[in-house]
Amino acid sequence: MRLAGSRLRSLAVASVVLLGVAVLCVAVVRLARGDDPAVPDDPSAANPLTERGFIEFRDRLEEMSGSTLVFRGFASADDGLVSVPVDATSGRSEMFTWRDGDFVEGSTEGTGTMDTSRFDLATIDAAGFEANVELALGLADDPDSVSIVFGRDETRPGACYTVFAQNESEDHASVRAACSGRMLENSVG
């Protein structure tokens, strides 16, 4: 039993690390392209970092996939990626890409081998997004990118999403929040 709990924690930590690497890669690509990651390419496009934008993001995902259940995902002002279960029990998933205010047609099917627990985006009260984004931006030193990673966090029960703000020197700040939008913890590193 102890080994299973240890393995589960290890898998949860590996999942968080992989998502952190994905966020870092997106920030590096954006910097290389010269984008301002805090502003979508099309200002009228839905920005999932806002209340209205997240609701549109969630609703469009439901239209595309038939559900608001995800394994994990992340979103920035104009990019995002969501891993959606293809059935009720396995780790098989479809990846949906968000770009410039909408999901890109077509998805990539794959098999997840880590955590198969589902997370319902409908449980997130997006009204708290903007305050947590502003908090993360205020904690970071001269940030040039901001994103939200959402999904179950085995290391912090009650957490639904984490906002990351980062600068080109890879200094970052994060704000972990409950589904209600209540800030649970923040860190600067």
Considering 4-13, 73-82, 148-157, the range whose residues carry the highest mean pLDDT is 73-82
**Could you tell me if 146 and 38 are in contact, meaning their C-beta atoms sit under 8 angstroms apart?**
yes
pLDDT in tens, 65-116: 899 999 999 999 888 999 999 888 888 888 999 988 888 877 676 555 556 7
- What is the SS3 assignment for 50? coil
Number of domains in the chain: 1
Identify the pLDDT of residue 42: 44
Domain membership of residue 112 as a residue range: 2-188
Indicate yes or no: pTM above 0.75.
no
**Could you tell me if 113 and 90 are in contact, meaning their C-beta atoms sit under 8 angstroms apart?**
no
pLDDT in tens, 10-51: 444 444 444 444 444 344 444 444 444 444 444 435 789 999
**Could you tell me if 149 and 162 are in contact, meaning their C-beta atoms sit under 8 angstroms apart?**
yes
Rg of the chain's alpha carbons, rounded to an integer? 16
Q: Which of 136, 151, 126 is nearest to 22 (CA)?
A: 151
